[in-house]
Amino acid sequence: MKRDTVVLVTGASRGIGRETARQFALAGCRVGIQALNRYDLAEQLAGELSQAGCQVLALQADVRDRSQVDAMVARLCQSWGPVDVLVNNAGIAQQKLFTDISEQDWDLMFAVHVKGTFHCCQAVIPDMVRRQAGKIINVSSIWGLTGASCEVHYAAAKAAVIGLTKSLAKELGPSHIQVNCVAPGVIETDMIAGLDEPGRNELLVQTPLGVMGSPADIAHTICFLASDKAAFITGQVISPNGGFLI
């Protein structure tokens, strides 16, 4: 990763996004650490990384809201210039029978994952096109590839993120902008903290490597996709999942 690369990681207060922001910052990038409700955690991470000599900025925004996203990107631009790498990672999960999913549940799921990704991409792409360079990494899920019982709205939104990624990669390739997707398997974060013991065991049994992934496993993949080593990769879905889906 080139020093001073400007990176925006959404959903970086916790879990995968937090570790991703940390890895980019420790690699010498300038990193916007976006949070929503746990802005305190983003500030805490920013403080920790600043102490270690990193260049970081804690940012608060709801990715569902266009004006908040635009203000966040403008603030980052003012500090360091245009965004070189965007990581659309912010997400929520919900388990419900399909027939119990309300219209509000459905809209919220799509607003965070699909509209949020749409907003953040539109906020950074004009500058990327002007500079004929940039990398976008969207975080989907294995459920977006395989489908998931009792998470139809989540799986459908994550599948939409994959469609968005592939389409954008085609549209932006001629402008030398790479768009890729990471579709994690089961990762040990707050998002799966609600799983009961039988549920966890079932997932482990279905995972050939027999372990859950860590946020670092996904962060490494994201950082690789943002690096020069991935210069010929675009429109792809990379799924670190312990063999859950082969």
Q: Which long-range contacts (CB under 8 A, 24 or more apart) does 108-111 make?
A: 109/153, 109/154, 109/156, 109/157, 110/153, 110/156, 110/157, 110/160, 111/64
Shortest gap between Cβ of 77 and ligand NAP (angstroms)?
19
Q: DSSP letter for 112, please.
A: I
Contact 20, 87 (CB under 8 A): yes
> Nearer to ligand NAP by C-beta: 173 or 243?
243
User: Closest by alpha carbon to 89, among 168, 42, 20?
Assistant: 20
Q: Catalytic residues, which ones?
A: 154
> Nearer to ligand NAP by C-beta: 77 or 191?
191
Would you tell me which residues interact with ligand NAP (CB under 6 A)? 10-17, 35-38, 62-64, 89-93, 112, 139, 141, 184, 186-187, 189-192
d(CA 202, CA 103): 30
> Nearer to ligand NAP by C-beta: 62 or 84?
62
User: Closest by alpha carbon to 61, among 92, 36, 90, 89?
Assistant: 36
> Nearer to ligand NAP by C-beta: 63 or 83?
63
Q: DSSP letter for 174, please.
A: G
**CA-angle at 86, arms to 81 and 90, nearest 5°:** 130
Radius of gyration of the chain (CA): 17
Shortest gap between Cβ of 190 and ligand NAP (angstroms)?
4
Shortest gap between Cβ of 174 and ligand NAP (angstroms)?
28
> Nearer to ligand NAP by C-beta: 92 or 233?
92
